[in-house]
């Protein structure tokens, strides 16, 4: 199933789907990865303050492939050092 990931909520839903398809509880996954069940829950709810490395490890464990695509003609303004643009705002500009 290909699902565009445009927000942390989209990623969380995909992670939850991968976990459920493997028949695992949040507690099962947390124990295997050495994190808390609460952290797994935050990821699945789309919490934006989860470490990307840990989320990628979780996706890999659940066999959730994250595939990126660069499309032409998407004009983006570079951000000022130290200021990070809101991803949802950038996506709405299209």
**Domain definitions of the chain by residue range:** 1-94
Question: Which pLDDT score, from 0 to 100, does residue 94 have?
Answer: 42
User: 54, 55, 68, 49: which is closest to 12 by C-alpha?
Assistant: 55
What is the CATH number that goes with domain 1-94? 1.10.260.40
Query: What is the rounded CA–CA span in Å between residue 44 and residue 15?
Result: 6
**Torsional class of 64: left (φ above 0), alpha (ψ -120 to 50), beta (otherwise):** beta
Number of H helices, E strands in the chain: 5, 0
Which segments of the chain have a pLDDT < 50? 79-81, 84, 90, 93-94
Question: Which pLDDT score, from 0 to 100, does residue 10 have?
Answer: 86
Question: Which pLDDT score, from 0 to 100, does residue 67 have?
Answer: 76
b/e for 33-54, b at 16 or more Cβ within 10 A?
A: eebeeebbebbbebeeebeeee
Question: Which pLDDT score, from 0 to 100, does residue 6 have?
Answer: 73
Question: Which pLDDT score, from 0 to 100, does residue 69 have?
Answer: 66
């Amino acid at each position: 199933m290909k699902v565009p990931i445009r927000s942390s909520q989209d990623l969380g839903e995909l992670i939850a789907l991968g976990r459920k398809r493997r028949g695992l509880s949040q507690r099962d996954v947390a124990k295997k990865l050495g994190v808390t069940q609460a952290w797994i829950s935050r990821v699945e709810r789309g919490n934006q303050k989860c470490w990307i490395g840990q989320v990628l490890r979780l996706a890999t464990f659940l066999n959730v492939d994250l595939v990126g695509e660069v499309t032409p003609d998407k004009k983006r303004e570079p951000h000022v050092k130290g200021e990070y643009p809101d991803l949802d705002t950038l996506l709405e500009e299209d």
